[in-house]
Amino acid sequence: MQKVLALIAHDQKKQEMIDFCTKWHAKLSRLSLIATGLTGYRIAQATGLPVECVLPGHSGGDIQLASRVADGEIDGVILLFDPQRPGVHEPDIGTLLRICGLHNKPLALNLATAELLVQSMV
């Protein structure tokens, strides 16, 4: 059974997520990918990787993904956020931190930990 990786990138980090997915294409192709709306669409368009898209983050997609983590449907999460804009994204980051912590699921918050997470999942 394929492991499931959730991908979320705030607006200022979407290109970094696309570049990451391009670099790690071979390993990511061995996982099931799920992402918030625009992030998932842009990854799929740029890389050709199949990505299941939920709602955009600002419309509750981050909550949908957190719920799926809680239900045991997601094995790991990569959330790229802009640390230069503190406070702006605290609610969605806080929810994912809490849910991943409660359910013992890895949550990568930057490219260095994202690489470690992908390597450990395949």
State the SS3 of the chain.
CCCEEEEEECHHHHHHHHHHHHHCHHHHCCCEEEECHHHHHHHHHHHCCCEEECCCHHHCHHHHHHHHHHCCCCCEEEEECCCCCCCCCHHHHHHHHHHHHHCCCCEECCHHHHHHHHHHHC
CA atoms lying within 13 Å on the CB side of residue 9: 22
Which among 11, 62, 82, 92 is annotated as catalytic?
A: 62
62 is catalytic: yes
Q: List, by residue number, the catalytic residues.
A: 62
